[in-house]
A = this chain, B = another copy of it.
Amino acid sequence: MEKTTDTFPLTMNSSEEQGTVCIFGTGDFGRSLGLKMLHCGYSVVFGSRNPQKSSLLPKGAEVLSYSEAAQKSDIIFLTIHREHYDFLTELTGVLNGKILVDVSNNLKINQYPESNAEYLAQLLPGAHVVKAFNTISAWALQSGALDASRQVFVCGNNNKAKQRVMDIVRTLGLTPLDQGSLKAASEIENYPLQLFPMWKFPFYLSAVLCVFFFFYCVVREVIYPYVYENKDNSFRMAISIPNRVFPIAALTLLALVYLPGVIAAILQLYRGTKYRRFPDWLDHWMLCRKQLGLVALGFAFLHVLYTLVIPIRYYVRWRLGNQTTTQAISKKENPFSTSSAWLSDSYMALGILGFFLFVLLGITSLPSVSNAVNWREFRFVQSKLGYLTLIFCTAHTLIYGGKKFLSPSILRWCLPSAYVIALIIPCTVLVLKFILILPCVNKTLTRIRQGWERHSKVSNWH
């Protein structure tokens, strides 16, 4: 799909001289960066403790002592660990006024109180420190296989120095992203260490939901028949039970996307102001709503696939074949029930429409799409269409239960069907939301959100 890979390849012909750059450190990243820069037409000078030509260094690069190397160029890439920055203070004289590019990464998020780049800037106040290149891997530089990202986050306090580094980034075929002042360095240093931080809560939550409902269904549909009828229903664990667990997880997670908004509204109504912070758990919950919704969409997608393979399952074919055979042997036609047809068809139609809207929501949350809509449009989609999706999916589940909903015959060991439990949160959210949009309540809420305060009370609390 994306083909920038080949259109602007990392390796250009070095027909033209781009100037000299200096690299401190001859480790893997330093060598990879040096090789890449040589390919792009730069002269490269390595600074090293033991300035002897190593066979590992790219051909064409010079190796000098740190201070000699630093004198050859006005821009120095530091590919050394933060722990060894101390020796740089000895070079203060030669590094004064030079651009120092800090490419270092740490082993853990927030390992040090200040970022490596800011620490460097404190060590050498006379140099222009720029943070860059730490999000690019040595392997990617070497192989040119920059699938993950060609983006190089750049930050620094000196604009000229930053521009200089960004030009080099572009010459290497990468995309610089200006992140502002050096204060952004700690964010940039944490960035490559993260593994889907916003997805952790939705992921664990859905795992807990799935495991709980899986065992709940196993008890009801496998163990119960085994104990009472000695029937081996274990095969249901492959498709039938997942196909109960997944829609339950999807519906619950979707409802949990809208629950924090409702709670926040109630809190604001109760407090009579919007100028007090929400509790931390609510803030965090609101920030990962998108991830919750996308996980829910994943479960809904699985539910759709599991449902659509029903007619080609051996069990279903066997059961339908036997039903028809019994019917044929008894020689009577099955009467047609219009109400059953209506129930079956409307429950499916609601499910399909709900899933369709859900997919729309998912598409609009793609970064490139959500960047192309304005705030009003985004709110329209995520709020109006989102609630419509929730209504459709809840109605789909309600009608699925149909006549047998909550009938006592469906209880096994006093356990109701799993979908009955799944309906609790969505119905609660919808009822609360319905109350919140009643004109009288909504009017107060709107005023509060526009900055109005129920002063008398608030001032007492302050």
The answer for the CA separation of A317 and B192 in the assembled complex, in Å, is 54
A180 surroundings in chain B (CB, below 8 A): 167, 170-171
- Minimum CB–CB distance from A218 to chain B (whole Å) comes to 15
A183 part of interface (Cβ distance < 8 Å): yes
A356 surroundings in chain B (CB, below 8 A): 298, 301-302, 305
C-beta contact mask, A183-220 vs B, less than 8 Å → 1, else 0?
11001001111111111000000000000000000000
- Minimum CB–CB distance from A186 to chain B (whole Å) comes to 9
A363 surroundings in chain B (CB, below 8 A): 1
A147/B309 in contact, CB under 8 A: no
- Residue of B with least CB distance to A167: B180
A365 part of interface (Cβ distance < 8 Å): yes
The answer for the CA separation of A353 and B306 in the assembled complex, in Å, is 10
C-beta contact mask, A370-399 vs B, less than 8 Å → 1, else 0?
111111111110100000000000000000
The answer for the CA separation of A149 and B375 in the assembled complex, in Å, is 7
A325 surroundings in chain B (CB, below 8 A): 324, 327-328, 331, 333-334
A315 surroundings in chain B (CB, below 8 A): 336, 341, 344-345
A440 part of interface (Cβ distance < 8 Å): no
C-beta contact mask, A1-29 vs B, less than 8 Å → 1, else 0?
11111111100100110100000000110
A333 surroundings in chain B (CB, below 8 A): 322, 325-326
A364 surroundings in chain B (CB, below 8 A): 1
C-beta contact mask, A151-162 vs B, less than 8 Å → 1, else 0?
100000000000
Contact of A197 among B3, B15, B191 (CB under 8 A): B3
A287 surroundings in chain B (CB, below 8 A): 5-6, 144-145
Contact of A324 among B5, B328, B338, B370 (CB under 8 A): B328
A424 part of interface (Cβ distance < 8 Å): no
Q: Give the interface of A toward B (CB within 8 A).
A: 1-9, 12, 15-16, 18, 27-28, 31, 41, 55-56, 135-140, 142-145, 147-149, 151, 167, 170-171, 178-181, 183-184, 187, 190-199, 232, 234-235, 238-240, 242, 274-275, 283, 286-287, 290-291, 294, 298, 301-302, 304-315, 317-318, 320-329, 331, 333-334, 336-338, 340-346, 348-349, 352-353, 355-356, 359-360, 363-380, 382, 449-451, 453, 458-459, 462
Q: A4-B372, A135-B374, A325-B334 are in contact. List 10 more A-B contacts (CB 8 A).
A: A2-B290, A7-B194, A55-B458, A194-B376, A196-B373, A298-B356, A306-B349, A308-B308, A315-B336, A315-B344
25 A/B residue pairs, CB under 8 Å, sorted by A: A2-B290, A2-B372, A7-B191, A12-B183, A12-B187, A138-B451, A142-B274, A145-B286, A192-B374, A193-B376, A232-B338, A239-B348, A306-B349, A307-B312, A314-B340, A314-B344, A315-B341, A318-B341, A321-B334, A325-B327, A325-B333, A326-B333, A366-B366, A366-B368, A366-B369
